[in-house]
Structure 1
Amino acid sequence: MQFSKSPIRPVIGKALLVLCALSIPAMAQAAAGGFDVEAATRAYIDTLQGAELEKSNSYFEGGYWLILWGALITFLADFFLLKSRLSSGFRAWAERKMKRLWAVTWLTSIPYLLASFLLTLPWVIYTDFFREKQYDLMSQSFGEWAGEQAIGLLISLIVFPLLVMAIFAVIRRAPKTWWIWGTGVISIFLFIGLLLGPVFISPLFNDYTEMEPGPLRDRIVAMAAEHDVPTENIYVFNQSKQHKRISANVSGVGPTIRISLNDNLLERTDPEEVAAVMGHELGHYVLGHTWRSIFIIGLIMAVGLFLIARIAPRLIARHGDKWGVRNMSDPAALPLFGMLLTVYFLAATPALNTLIRVNESDADLFGLNAAKEPDGFAKVAMRLSEYRKIEPGSTEEMLFFDHPSGATRVRMAMEWKAQNTENPVIVRPGTLKEE
């Protein structure tokens, strides 16, 4: 359950089943002997009122426009690098320094990445720092935030050139089918990131310490053991230094698998909420969402690379002389590839959101069955209203939400409660406070 934002940037049948389930509250009410699912749902949703509701809606709805403007700024940055012939200049510089084609590609990607970073930096500063401060969602000073941006850039300077080098190598070796092999390359890089990220990347941003023994850890271990999730490593990390969002995850692959809870989750919620969150996160692991995500992301990238393979050669044939781009295997074409991918991912946003949202909904149901804490789950869903609109329209949720909305999650929890709890009663939580 992504209870926080992620720094680095997936069917329909299951979604229809969920919608069908949401359409029969009367059946749930009958099964519960008079428990009113809708009244129980409203009891939670209506705790968010007035200025807090307006602030939540304003923040999230503003994010709709950020998707469009962010894509436009990224597109224009690449267009500038291409049309100004800076990208061809980067390649010419690399050719003077290196002899081998793979080395030229590797070196060209470094100034391209740095130039892209600097061109989009003002936008990133606004969206990721000042706007977060404006809505009281940022705990860091500008210097602290900038330091983490620098760490992220250094990681990109290691990984991105290697990825570009590999992609252009397959373009040279298989000019007609490179997009298929390129998809495989991206999937391999993604797998390596999932394998090594928890051990080598995450600790660069936060301190991880073993969770202290106690009843809460015992409950997490018991839930995990019931579903054959490894429990050798259960960590708490100090994400409160960055923001106050609650978060947890089961990350890693094979020997690097670990369960992680951020300190906000432990400090701001009660044990029932923690159990509900961990039930959800265990669901991602048990349901194989890591492997499903790699497969789905691979398919998404395959379509994007296929479009590049069909469109880019025509654009290079027509405008390549003006841009200083020789052919598809010329690393000076990097901004062109970036422009095409930006347009593709912008158009695919609703589909991408739906694919992720279905995974999250599956994990929600698993978590309810694992933790058996419907009211804890509902309370957590309401806490997410600090940065996520709680009750969008159905079309709005389909287009812009990569997780089920708070209202959808609360309703699912109350339906589960009606169907699985003996003599359920409606909880009227009042305004949720930090525990």
Structure 2
Amino acid sequence: MKKKIAITGVSLYILFCGFIYLYLFVFQDATLPANLVGTSIDPATFLSREELLLSEQYSKIRDLLFFLEIPYEWLFYLFILLFGLGKVFYRWANEYGKLELLKSAIFTFCLSLLSFVCFFPFRYIRYTLSKNYGISTQDFSSWMRDGMIDFWINWLMLFFVVAVLYWLLRKSPKRWWIYAWLLTIPFTIFYMYIQPVVIDPLYNDFYPIQNKALENKILDLAGTAGIPAEHVYEVNMSEKTNALNAYVTGIGANARIVLWDTTLNRLADNEILFIMAHEMAHYVEKHIYIGMVGYLLLLFVCLFVVGKLLNLAIKKYGEIFAIDSVQSLSSLPLLLLIVSMLLFATSPLTNAVSRYQEMRADRYAIELTQDVEAGVETFQELTKTGLSQVDPPALVKWFRYGHPTMKERILLIEQYENTTDNK
């Protein structure tokens, strides 16, 4: 039975890889509709022929890696279960750990280390890809340092979550998922509060914007929007990338708007102000808080589904997967497999909500700055520096894009301009 499941899993993965390759490299036509050719949306109007070629190549390879890694993760957990590695890790945890907390630490460390090793090829390929296409400027030692920080942070979070989760499973086998969800609320709020001041600085240096003339313009714009301006920071991303970005992070007193220094170096002041207006929209419309509430509601449903599927899977495959009970740490790979599948299945929904919020932020930026030209030029520059596709395939948009496509963003600006001109 184990052999049959393994062969089926590998066969499905190979078929999926073939489908995704054909979908991205053969069946997709990157040609824009005739009515958009020669407009500000057409990448041929703001990219060189070489940049157009590189953009198509880079986007397709990057998307291919994304879609190949997701089911690879499912195979990873499946083979851990089939080869009984979960039971081996559990035995080691029992041998070297007396307390349940120490057992959880040993088990999650073994699982995290194996995961780090098995997924390293994907991470390295993405790194070399971005390096070869001129996106990344980060040297290997710095990249490895970030990878090790990721490892320890991810392990600590996994250890904490697993320790609490399996304590709840032992105490309340039927209602554990409700209690887990209730505990998620303060944990999520706490994590979002400390992220800007504790976690993010582990990777980069954050400091107030150094260009004082630009700072005054941002202060004026923030005043117009009714936003406290002390939450605007610059981060030294030029040491790692040529790409541009800005984002909103944190909540409460630690909420801040962050601009990459690459954005400050590459864009004109009016383009930076357009980006700032976009980020201010997230603050004004409380997208962080709305997103957090939406995340918690979705998590409530997912935890309920995970609980049901976990019990059903152990009843049917518990002996094959060497899982004695739901309460055993050896069930963790199965739980993570179910969670990974649910996250992938719900990503089109969460991405659609995110794109809606980003579209609202774009509209707010246009209305606040009244600078249509800056908006168009900003999105064109973002496309150029990130080697992004203006109009990606549907599956890529559904599963990868938390922002509207560049085609949609520039169309929104042009529609706003036409509406304004007709008034």
TM-score, with normalisation over the residues of structure 2?
0.84
For 1:296 and 1:358, the matched residues in 2 are separated by 13
Deviations 1:292-340 (A, max 9, x none): 1112222333333222211221221233234332211212111111211
1:312-391 to 2 correspondence within 5 Å? 312-385=310-383, 386-391=386-391
Classify 1:393/1:69 alpha carbon distance in 2 versus 1 (closer, same or farther; 3 Å). closer
CA contact (8 A) 2:43 2:52 kept: no
What displacement does 1:364 show?
0.9
Classify 1:64/1:145 alpha carbon distance in 2 versus 1 (closer, same or farther; 3 Å). same
Classify 1:140/1:100 alpha carbon distance in 2 versus 1 (closer, same or farther; 3 Å). same
Corresponding residue SS for 2:137? coil
For 1:257 and 1:207, the matched residues in 2 are separated by 17
CA contact (8 A) 2:43 2:390 kept: no
For 1:38 and 1:413, the matched residues in 2 are separated by 17
CA contact (8 A) 2:246 2:260 kept: yes
* Corresponding residue of 1:236: 234
Deviations 1:218-238 (A, max 9, x none): 121122233332222432111
What displacement does 1:366 show?
1.3
Root-mean-square deviation (CA, aligned residues, Å) is 2.5
Matched AA of 2:82: K
* Corresponding residue of 1:161: 159
What displacement does 1:213 show?
5.4
* Corresponding residue of 2:412: 412
What displacement does 1:261 show?
1.3
Q: State how many pairs are aligned.
A: 387
Q: 1:214 aligns with which of 204, 212, 215?
A: 212
Indicate yes or no: 2:319 matched with 1:304: no
CA contact (8 A) 1:45 1:382 kept: no
* Corresponding residue of 1:290: 288
List gaps (5 residues or longer) in structure 1: 1-35, 424-435
For 1:421 and 1:283, the matched residues in 2 are separated by 24
Corresponding residue SS for 1:327? coil
Corresponding residue SS for 1:321? coil
For 1:407 and 1:162, the matched residues in 2 are separated by 42
Corresponding residue SS for 1:232? helix
What displacement does 1:42 show?
4.7
Corresponding residue SS for 2:318? helix
For 2:49 and 2:399, the matched residues in 1 are separated by 26
List gaps (5 residues or longer) in structure 2: 1-34
For 1:60 and 1:145, the matched residues in 2 are separated by 21
For 2:393 and 2:64, the matched residues in 1 are separated by 17
Classify 1:396/1:316 alpha carbon distance in 2 versus 1 (closer, same or farther; 3 Å). closer
Corresponding residue SS for 1:138? coil
TM-score, with normalisation over the residues of structure 1?
0.82
Matched-pair identity in %? 22
Higher relative contact order structure (alpha carbons within 8 Å, sequence separation ≥ 6): 1
What displacement does 1:195 show?
0.7
* Corresponding residue of 1:78: 77
CA contact (8 A) 1:308 1:337 kept: yes
Classify 1:122/1:226 alpha carbon distance in 2 versus 1 (closer, same or farther; 3 Å). same
* Corresponding residue of 2:27: none
For 1:404 and 1:174, the matched residues in 2 are separated by 43
CA contact (8 A) 1:187 1:294 kept: no
1:185-196 to 2 correspondence within 5 Å? 185-196=183-194
What displacement does 1:82 show?
1.9
